[in-house]
Structures are given as structure tokens and as C-alpha cells.
Amino acid sequence: MLDFRIDTFLAVCKFMNFTKASQYLNITQPAVSGHIRYLEEYYQVKLFVYSGKKMYLTKEGKILLEVATTLKHDDIFLKNKLKNRSNKQELIFGATLSVGEYIMPKIINSLLQENCNLAIKMQVANTSELLKGINEGNLDFAIVEGYFNKNEYDYRTFCHENYICVGPSNLKIDSVEDINELFKYNLIIRETGSGSREIIERWLKERNMNLRDFENIIEIGNINMIKHLVANLQGVTFIYQMAVIDELKQGKLKEIKINDMQISHEINFIWRKNSVFSEYYQQLFALFQLQNTKVLL
């Protein structure tokens, strides 16, 4: 059981404001201050500093936040396990949109065929939302395509997927020497926070370019809608090959090869770093990867 003052510390970190933390916890502000003072005296460090009226975590505070977040997650996980008196095994996890739509259905189907007593709760969201879900204890683990802080999460590489540029099938170009030849087209792309968007953002940044170099940006949070718009001559997109494999075969879309862009991006199975349940998550990773291998055969 976690010390209740750790909950106070996490609330203060969430709002970076003692008053808002006290309202969130439904306790007085002096109580919040007392809890933080106790932790600072116990660990003999300062956890917060002020610059003007703004509050920041110290280096020691950041370390405690990483550890406390994992401890809180493990505490919630343990409570749920102890409350689960049925024989069902629960899998509460998240997957990014491409993973959830194009990888997980076959894996989940295979898992259920082998264990009909399995209870599955899968949240599909972008990487940043899933990381938040893990940190707050709403998700046990996630399979993500996006970038994450590897100092905060333990992970195993689940697979690698090719990341390509796609346009309408009747576009008059099949390849370009430089990506700037595509800037005259609309770019249809996922929303900020999505892993697939971040890949192209980082790739462009490394070359002193950005998404705003395109004629126009259309943000869509649905992969099928993106594919529909591209197929109907509304622009180009950057997407995982697995998400358009059928459309490429059917001739509805076509890959536009870019001379210096060959991206194979890793998809990772992640959980909170230094979790006491790390061995369990590694067993789940092995199980999921085994099922993925089976469905690919």
C-alpha cells in the first residue's frame, strides 16, 4: 500500500500548483504543503523550486516522480488483481491506431481461440494518450508505434514496419528525387500526438524542413478516411505499409518512392520502468509475439 503522501506528490506534479492539487484531492492546501514537506524531510532533498511564480520539479523531484508513477501503477495493478475473484485472466492494454486496426485483430482472435476465458480491454488511441493511460494506471501496458521516453518505460521491440509515402493511383509520378517535389500537394496526416505523424515530423526536422512546407495540411484522426481522401485525389500521405497493403494490391493507391527516404520503424511493447511486475509483462510480450508469428505464417 502506497503512503498517501505519494498521492499528494503526484497530484502536485500533475497540476504544478498546490491549490489545484488540494482541490483535486479534496484536502486543505496546508495539508498538501505538509505532505510535501514530510517527503522532502524524509528524503532530505528539495522536490520543487520556484522561478518567479512558476513551480518546477528539481532533479531529485523528477527522479521521485518516475519512481512514484511506477509504484502507483503497480499498486493499482495489484488492487485489480486482488479484486478479481473470477478465473478469468484480464488483459488491460492499449494500442496505437495502426497497431489496433491492422495487427491486433488477428492476434486477439488467436488468443481467444486458445483461451476462451480471457477478458480483454483494449484502448485504441495515439501514443501520447496511451502513455498517459499507463502513467495513471488505467492501462497495464501498450503496443505503440510512436516515440516514448525510454528512461521511463521498459520495452521490447514487437516488430518492424515499413513507412511509406502514398498517393492516388492515377498520380502522374511514381518516384521523386527529393521530397520537396511533393510540397505542392495537400498533405493528409494524422493528428498531433500520433506515432505515424511524429515519424515524418522527425524525418523532416533532420533535414531542416517541416510539415508546413506542404501546400496545405489536412488532419484526420481516422486511417480509413485518410486512405479514402488520398484515393480521391485530395493529396498524399505518409503511412505504414501494412495499413495500405490491400489498397496497393487493388490499385486504389500507389506508393511514391522518395530517393532518400527508406524508413523501417519499430513498434514496441511497453510498460512502466522498474515495475515489480516486469516478469509478467515480459511473459505477455512473448505470448503476443508468438501469436503474431502464428498469424503471419
Q: What is the DSSP letter of 275?
A: -
Residue 58 has pLDDT above 90, yes or no: yes
User: How does residue 297 score in pLDDT terms, banded at 50, 70 and 90?
Assistant: low
Residue 32 has pLDDT above 70, yes or no: yes
Query: What architecture is domain 161-265?
Result: 3-Layer(aba) Sandwich (3.40)
pLDDT digits (tens, 9 = 90+) for 237-276: 999 999 999 999 999 999 999 998 888 889 999 999 999 9
- Extract long-range pairs of 130-134: CB within 8 Å, 24+ residues apart: 130/94, 130/95, 130/96, 133/94, 134/73, 134/94, 134/270, 134/271, 134/272
Percentage of the residues of the chain whose pLDDT score is greater than 70: 98
Q: How many whole angstroms separate alpha carbon 74 and alpha carbon 80?
A: 10
User: DSSP strand E in 58-126: where?
Assistant: 89-95, 118-124
pLDDT for the residue numbered 295: 65
Extents of the domains making up the chain: 4-80, 82-159+266-296, 161-265
Q: Which CATH class is domain 4-80?
A: mainly alpha
Specify the amino acid at residue 295: V
User: How does residue 53 score in pLDDT terms, banded at 50, 70 and 90?
Assistant: confident
- CA dihedral (193, 194, 198, 199) in degrees, to 10, reads 170
Q: CATH for 82-159+266-296, among 3.40.190.10, 3.40.50.300, 3.90.1640.30, 3.30.70.270? A: 3.40.190.10
pLDDT for the residue numbered 89: 82
For every residue of 116-174, DSSP letters joined together read TTEEEEEEE--HHHHHHHHHTTS-SEEEESS---TTTEEEEEEEEEEEEEEEETT-S-S
Residue 91 has pLDDT above 80, yes or no: yes
> How much is the average pLDDT of 16-41?
94
Strand 54-57 and strand 186-189: the pairing is unpaired
User: How does residue 296 score in pLDDT terms, banded at 50, 70 and 90?
Assistant: low
Q: Which residues, listed in sequence order, are joined to residue 120 by a DSSP beta bridge?
A: 91
pLDDT for the residue numbered 86: 66
- Across all residues in the chain, what is the average pLDDT? 91
- CA dihedral (27, 31, 33, 37) in degrees, to 10, reads -140
Map grid coordinates 524531510 to a residue.
Answer: 41
Fold: same for 82-159+266-296 and 161-265: yes
> How much is the average pLDDT of 273-291?
94
Angle at 128 between CA 122 and CA 241, to 5 degrees: 70
Q: Which residues, listed in sequence order, are joined to residue 121 by a DSSP beta bridge?
A: 92
pLDDT for the residue numbered 230: 95
pLDDT for the residue numbered 292: 84
pLDDT for the residue numbered 67: 93
pLDDT digits (tens, 9 = 90+) for 164-208: 999 999 998 899 999 999 999 999 999 888 888 999 999 999 999
pLDDT for the residue numbered 146: 83
User: How does residue 43 score in pLDDT terms, banded at 50, 70 and 90?
Assistant: very high
Residue 108 has pLDDT above 70, yes or no: yes
